[in-house]
Amino acid sequence: MIKIALPKGRIAKESLEIFSRIFETKIEFDDRKLILEKHNFLFMLVRSQDVATYVYHQAADIGIVGLDVLEEHPLKVVKLMNLNIGKCRVVVGARADGGIDYLKPRIKIATKMPHITLRYFSQKAIPVDVIKLYGSIELAPLVGLSDGIVDIVETGDTMRQNNLIEVEKIMDSSAHLICNLNSFYAKKNEILSLCAKIQKEL
């Protein structure tokens, strides 16, 4: 049996569609159920930020996770393949009418990705105070909580509709299939055969 951790939210639907095509049957979780067994596969539904944790600790053999999430919560897992779904980018954003004044001694950045933010600005030797938020990041510069944001942009609608602009791109992201080293060795044939089937459906 192969145990698969799938992320709730934007990538979940597309991932489940891929597996539904592979197994030629609808892979669908019942209402609030978080676990589903089908065709010798065990699917589990977890928060996207937790996928790598389930995989790393071997509660799941493989998982699907955005590169941005993996970058924010780095764990030693094997990246098996790029699924090219859930494409988005991590950007620095600011008010369209002001931008970010890098001449200030410290700038305040609101984000749900403090790790990526700190690393990015420290590489540029720009002092930042990171304000950790859990959502609606785009609001922060509009009401004076921060000078700018680091956030995910997919269509760009949220930033546009809130009069924000992209100042710089930090990274591109898309969903990747990951695996822990132990499962990779123990179930190599099954996992590689699944990768081949997924590749055909992309």
Interstrand relation of 41-46 and 35-38 (parallel, antiparallel or unpaired): antiparallel
158 to 177: interface string for ligand PRP, x by CB under 6 A: x-------------------
Site string for ligand PRP, 33-62 (x = CB under 6 A): ------------------------------
Distance, C-alpha 166 to centroid of its chain? 19
Tell me the closest approach of the beta carbon of residue 149 to ligand PRP, in angstroms.
9
* Site membership for ligand PRP, residue 182 (CB under 6 A): no
Using CB under 6 A as the binding rule, whether residue 140 contacts ligand PRP is answered as no
**Lookup result for tokens 């493989």:** 62
We find the least distance from the C-beta atom of residue 10 to ligand PRP, in angstroms, to be 7
Please state the closest distance from residue 90 (CB atom) to ligand PRP, in A. 10
Which long-range contacts does 11-17 make (Cβ < 8 Å, 24+ apart)?
A: 11/48, 11/64, 11/65, 11/66, 11/85, 11/86, 11/175, 12/45, 14/85, 14/86, 14/175, 15/64, 15/83, 15/85, 15/175
Which chain residues interact with ligand PRP by CB under 6 A?
A: 135-138, 151-158
